[in-house]
Amino acid sequence: MNDVPDSKPDMRNRSLRRRDALTGDERRAKSLAIATHGAEALAAEIPGKCVAGYHPIRSEADVGLLMALLEKAGAELALPAVIDRETIVFRAFRSGEELVAGGFGTRAPGEDAGEVDPDILLMPLSVFDEAGNRIGYGAGHYDRAIARLAARGRKPFLVGIAFDLQEVPSVPAEPHDVPLDAIITESGFGRTENGD
């Protein structure tokens, strides 16, 4: 466990500095372990469901292999595309399809790809705690996307993707924060109280 700084921005900055300090080889090995744990935990319940992952930026865990394994197990895939400073949508894609610039340094399916409502959302984050509280990057894209899905009667299974070193004892949660249902790190897959 790591010390908890006073504010969310401080927590985010410290966690991202720790994550940025990982070497490329360490990130690849940890991402491989995340893919293995995630596939083992989710493969049986995945056929016919839509899983939205993400294209990694900066020092994020790479979920490309996890998504490929889930697709092989019968999942349909999607990636987020940044529409404007406030909005992301999820667009369908298949492994190997060409991606375009998706905003904020990400890659995404082009505008001709169909928009989908994911059943499972693999979410990058900067900080998390055991209860499933998370801190993103401060733009609120995922919070707004989850709220839009909820307004349409959809409640995707929210899975945080992170490295162990991003965990803190407690993340201050606000009333609008939606906790994660599960978290996958290189140490394993764990459901939170919200995901039971």
- Give residue-wise pLDDT tens across range 114-143: 899 999 999 999 999 999 999 988 778 888
Count, residues in the chain: 196
Residue 103 has a pLDDT of 67
Q: By the 8 A CB rule, do 88 and 54 touch? A: no
Residue 108 has a pLDDT of 76
Q: Break the chain into its structural domains and give their ranges.
A: 8-195
**Binding site residues for substrate, as ranges?**
60
How many other CB atoms sit within 10 Å of the CB of residue 66? 25
**Binding site residues for ATP, as ranges?**
8-12, 134-142
Residue 5 has a pLDDT of 45
Q: By the 8 A CB rule, do 89 and 80 touch? A: yes
CATH topology of domain 8-195: Rossmann fold (3.40.50)
Task: Give dist(CA 70, CA 79) in Å, integer.
Answer: 14
CA 142 to chain centre: 9
Q: Please give the model's pTM, rounded to 2 decimal places.
A: 0.91
**Binding site residues, as ranges?**
8-12, 60, 134-142
Low-confidence ranges of the chain (pLDDT < 70): 1-6, 103, 195-196
